[in-house]
Structure 1
Amino acid sequence: MIEVRKFHTLGSANHGWLDAHHHFSFAGYHDPARTSWGNLRVWNDDTIAAKSGFPPHPHNDMEIITYVREGAITHRDSMGNEGRTEAGDVQVMSAGKGVTHSEYNLEDKTTRIFQIWIIPDQRGGAPAWGARPFPKDDRTGRFVTLASGLPGDDDALPIRTGARVLGATILAGESVTYEATPDRHLYLVPAAGSIRIEDQTAEARDGVAITGLDRFTITALDDSELVLVDAA
């Protein structure tokens, strides 16, 4: 099954400093047909105005992955961590038994991020945070694992769930094939560009829900930047 969820059908909320679009039910947006996708609970497409952001707030029992599409985000938390994550790079926070954090756009320009929440395999545990750069040239024409809780992904940022988050850049006219497992839940979003996935087309910021397949091929109609979650 491949289902394309067009960007204009997503839930949304514009708070002035934050223009948020929700692939799944979140905050004041509820769609009983889009509450989660397997263990993938949240995929928010956030545009954050310069010199603004999310003030300190708590989380627990959630794996929170932030993929920066444009600009940069600055993280601070109750564990004493602080870091700035730039476009193309990724940060991960395992909320565990509880953590308070803030995420600010301290830049002079707009920041755009995907914020992805995945349900952990077990509740509790000490919270943790990490970030690392993933140069886009390293993932041209192929998927690279950015964060993972699966065996064999030692180079990726660790998450506490049987899932992986991957990124790829594909030049127009080129294709990549992803080897899947039919009982997994995959969710793909082009951060930029448009693609054909098997016999369907997705534009930038559309969501593509995939399950029941052992492989699928993605062809870039324009130069494209992709983010994929492969979850239980």
Structure 2
Amino acid sequence: MATTVLHKADTRGHANHGWLNAYHSFSFGSWYNPDRVHFGALRVLNDDTIAAGMGFGTHPHDNMEIITIPFEGDLAHKDSMGNAATIKSGDVQVMSAGTGIQHSEFNPNHDQQTKLFQIWLFPKMRNVTPRYQQITLDKSLEKNDFAQILSPNPEDAGVWIHQDAWFYLSDFDKDFSKKLSLQKADNGFYIINIEGKIEVNGEKLEKRDAIGLWKTPEIEIKATTAAKFLVMEIPMNY
């Protein structure tokens, strides 16, 4: 029998700094909820809206796998490894912070906000050499399927990280349903619904609702309206 935890959108932490409107699925910054510190290796899931021309100044990270998925607008990135790039809607970026990096992120557009998920996972090994990777996704693969955008394997589709995790983006038509099996037996699933309405093993999720499931080898997701969502397969032993 699957064990589940339901995180409704309105139970998330919220911080509106003016230039940044952020919703936190897990404890972050000044928002702390002892029941919402992490889901297995998933430590941070921030739903950020960055105002035009604004952003994060240079700041450090270490020993964390950091994934950024923009949904609207662009994000300009610079880091201490010498990378300077713009991440656009339809891209995915990963940084393995490892022994330590510094980076900045800002919205380069002066007439458009940027919306994104930033996700942090604990790595399976500490103090690795920092690395950066960015790719453009083939959005057509998401239509009525689970399009893999992240894995532990450099040769697989999507970006790769130092953790036994797999991420999928999906764009389902109304009434479409599909099952997904775990890649690794002891992992769990964490699903956040981006747009529309879905059911995960019968549990109803609306926009930005999320659910975690473990002790189950597979899930079934049905779109009750046209819907977009992110599925994360996450190691649970953290």
**TM bin (shorter chain):** over 0.9
**Could you list the runs of 5+ residues in structure 2 that have no partner in the other structure?**
none
SS in 1 for 2:39: coil
Output the CA distance in 1 between the equivalents of 2:163 and 2:62: 14
Output the CA distance in 2 between the equivalents of 1:110 and 1:49: 5
Q: Which residue of 2 aligns with 1:128?
A: 131
SS in 2 for 1:137: helix
Q: Do the aligned residues in 2 keep the contact of 1:182 with 1:211 (CA within 8 Å)?
A: no
Output the CA distance in 1 between the equivalents of 2:133 and 2:221: 30
Q: Which residue of 2 aligns with 1:79?
A: 81
Q: Which residue of 1 aligns with 2:99?
A: 97
| Number of corresponding residues | 231
Output the CA distance in 2 between the equivalents of 1:8 and 1:193: 16
Q: Do the aligned residues in 1 keep the contact of 2:61 with 2:100 (CA within 8 Å)?
A: yes
Displacement after TM superposition at 1:182 (Å): 5.6
SS in 1 for 2:27: coil
Q: In the TM superposition, what whole-angstrom CA distance separates every residue of 1:11-45 from its partner, at most 9, and x where no partner exists?
A: 11110000111101111111111110111110011
User: Which 4+ stretches in 1 moved above 3 angstroms?
Assistant: none
Q: Which residue of 2 aligns with 1:67?
A: 69
Q: Do the aligned residues in 1 keep the contact of 2:64 with 2:120 (CA within 8 Å)?
A: yes
Displacement after TM superposition at 1:88 (Å): 2.4
Q: Do the aligned residues in 1 keep the contact of 2:143 with 2:171 (CA within 8 Å)?
A: yes
Output the CA distance in 2 between the equivalents of 1:141 and 1:36: 29
Q: Do the aligned residues in 2 keep the contact of 1:19 with 1:46 (CA within 8 Å)?
A: yes
Output the CA distance in 2 between the equivalents of 1:192 and 1:88: 15
TM-score (structure 2 length as normaliser): 0.93
Displacement after TM superposition at 1:152 (Å): 8.2
Q: In the TM superposition, what whole-angstrom CA distance separates every residue of 1:26-85 from its partner, at most 9, and x where no partner exists?
A: 111111111101111100111111110111100000000011111111111011101111
**Could you list the runs of 5+ residues in structure 1 that have no partner in the other structure?**
none
Output the CA distance in 2 between the equivalents of 1:121 and 1:153: 19
Q: Do the aligned residues in 2 keep the contact of 1:145 with 1:153 (CA within 8 Å)?
A: no
SS in 1 for 2:141: helix
Output the CA distance in 1 between the equivalents of 2:107 and 2:227: 25
Displacement after TM superposition at 1:114 (Å): 0.6
Displacement after TM superposition at 1:2 (Å): 2.9
Q: Which residue of 2 aligns with 1:27?
A: 29
RMSD of the alignment, in Å? Answer: 1.4
